[in-house]
A and B are shown apart, each in its own frame.
Chain A
């Protein structure tokens, strides 16, 4: 440790690193540069405590930190330099904000004396990230470093989690201060979590007991509050069916008796249709994204609505509620389970079966078990679930690959599905998968991505190579920007503007990075190839040539309500 001999003080850079250690951080994703030289210099002394993953582009660092955070449920940490380094993480900050992912980003900044002068590589990162971060702060003095880091971790990880940006001026990195760390557990202006009051819980229990057709819609809040078991107990006691948002997937095991599948535009038929038939909608840890609700004027109008969320500003924001409970999902569900009566609603639950049957016959079976024709994306996803025995962490990019992976992956463990939901960021997949694998090397991590999205952050194969990250990458190659092509086919008269894409030879790219790869062209090769994909711990890329013009079905077309669903390009449900 470099200390100011007379007073036993450390530099700001070292205080930051010490503070991270105090917060239990063991991994940092980053990229060096001029305004973080002092920080990276001190980082060398911490190689036994902090593993630094050198990404190939700063966007990769933040998505990797997001993947890491989603698996671990603790903040992911990012170091980048000022100016271009900092602006390169903007997409990831916005993504983490949308998806409530805890990350702490440390950006370098020019010396405080140069702030506002258009100094070399100065960008106003506080101004740029204010609308897209949960909190940000510019550290201008070494004395403030420990305080700011403690606050950053408290804010990022508590309440509704989110990204925090600490902008760290060069002089604050090199200045000296005394190091004394105390974790933050209170900020007077910040109330991360309210408590439900007894009257609200009683009222909710009364509404549930009186309901004959209650339906639970849940989101990522279940995973974040650790409410998986509480939700299962609640559903079983009340005999209540439940549907999940995209980000809520894997909170319940796929085979769980009361789990009815995914909600939303490409979700399952039953949970969408039943949303508009239930008499009580109980929303837990979800925010009624418009990809889930369609036009809110047609969403669950027949039902009473209870909304349970840790974020008060979400309650009533989009869907009018009869009862809002602003509190932690697990605590509320546990309290409600104790209060509701044990019920038998098998008739109501049985009615889901009927709809499910239609989807099975008309959509799922043709997708998963086609006998002829090109390979369908669903077959590939299904094969991965079979081969991994539903044990993999599934990471997706954005587009058709994402929707198909969400629809057909099966899970038997929580925190197993990682995807960019709210922002829908192409390029999220590969770095997020790297972060996920680093967070939990003991589990297989499988990325599904399109030929478009993989090329947005393909440079991160460099990390896979350098750090030996055993991710399994499945490129569902359709030679199109498939999701956009689907919309052009269905809603823009097949006018295919800028969606046809010429691809490189991915096996050569893989080879350049020293990563094994394999191409699958026909159905017969698929099973063997997927087995080889998971045969060992090493990274591997599987390029599957899938049907070029597959459409993801079912689909609630934009502007339609949750019970107006297309089950093929020409047919509507019912």
Chain B
């Protein structure tokens, strides 16, 4: 196992219980790992939430973290992935002054170049949205900053794995079979 610090994404599925996020955060804190991005949402399965967390560390540590996460009673399963193993995106919203971008003349080109869209426009401000990696949303931010970005926020990153993986519902079905035995 090598000692290179890499960007890893931890994805876990948990029961929808109060305090699960606290349990997860505790395990990251114990390993002195920073969460550089986090996203927690309902999964399509009833009662199950999916949390994905991006962190920078070495593989040995990420394995430890994932094993300790999975050991938690309320956590169904946990996985980790390096960037090559995933397709990942985040969403960014940019609020810019409408007069400035209209005055610029080339906003259409900029947005096209970045695959970004205007999702709301009014006299005072315009909201632009973009889906991409952190680097890409950052590049657009840099580009727009000459108009004066009034507000900016990016979401936590979400991902799917490039690899074949047992879907969670299948795993849960297997578990239910164990129960009836």
Contact = CB atoms under 8 A, between A and B. Distances in A.
Contact of B64 (A136, A137, A190, A313): A313
Nearest to B67: A313
Given A135-B73, A313-B67, A313-B70, 20 more contacts: A126-B19, A127-B19, A130-B19, A130-B22, A130-B26, A131-B26, A131-B30, A136-B19, A138-B18, A155-B73, A188-B176, A188-B179, A189-B15, A189-B73, A191-B175, A313-B64, A313-B68, A316-B63, A317-B64, A317-B67
Contacts of A316: 63
A311 interface: yes
Contacts of B18: 138
Nearest to A191: B175
Contacts of B30: 131
A187 B14 CA distance: 12
Nearest to B18: A138
Interface in A310-361: 311-313, 316-317
A316 to B, nearest CB: 8
Contacts of B17: 137
Interface residues of A, number: 21
A136 B22 CA distance: 12
A128 to B, nearest CB: 11
Given A188-B175, A189-B73, A127 B22 contact: yes
30 contacts: A126-B19, A127-B19, A130-B19, A130-B22, A131-B30, A134-B73, A135-B73, A136-B19, A138-B18, A155-B73, A186-B179, A187-B73, A188-B175, A188-B176, A188-B179, A189-B14, A189-B15, A189-B74, A189-B75, A189-B76, A190-B73, A312-B70, A312-B71, A313-B64, A313-B67, A313-B70, A313-B71, A316-B63, A317-B64, A317-B67
Contacts of A312: 67, 70-71
A311 B64 contact: no
Contacts of B15: 189
A131 B178 CA distance: 29
Interface residues of B, number: 24
B143 to A, nearest CB: 43
Interface on chain A toward B: helix, strand, loop, or mixed SS?
A: mixed
B181 to A, nearest CB: 10
Contacts, number: 44
Interface in B66-95: 67-68, 70-71, 73-76
Given A188-B175, A189-B75, A313-B70, A130 B23 contact: yes
A7 to B, nearest CB: 28
Interface string B101-121: 000000000000000000000
Interface in B142-181: 172, 175-176, 178-179
Contacts of B68: 313
A311 B179 contact: no
B76 A188 contact: yes
A246 to B, nearest CB: 23
Interface in A16-55: none
B179 to A, nearest CB: 4
Contacts of B74: 135, 189
Of all A-B residue pairs in the complex, the 5 with the closest CB atoms, nearest first, are A313-B67, A186-B179, A189-B76, A131-B26, A135-B73
A221 to B, nearest CB: 15
Contacts of A136: 19
Nearest to A155: B73
Contacts of B73: 134-135, 155, 187, 189-190
A312 B22 CA distance: 22
A190 B17 CA distance: 14
Contacts of A317: 64, 67
A311 B22 contact: no
A311 B19 contact: no
**Residue of B17, B67, B176, B178 most packed against chain A (CB within 10 A):** B67
Nearest to B64: A317
A317 to B, nearest CB: 6
Contacts of B176: 188
Nearest to A315: B67
Contacts of A134: 73
Contacts of A135: 73-74
A131 B19 CA distance: 11
B147 to A, nearest CB: 43
**Residue of A127, A155, A190 most packed against chain B (CB within 10 A):** A190
A560 B179 CA distance: 48
Interface string A175-206: 00000000000111111000000000000000
**Residue of B17, B18, B63, B71 most packed against chain A (CB within 10 A):** B71
A188 B76 CA distance: 7
Contacts of A127: 19, 22
B66 to A, nearest CB: 9
Contacts of A130: 19, 22-23, 26
A58 B91 CA distance: 50
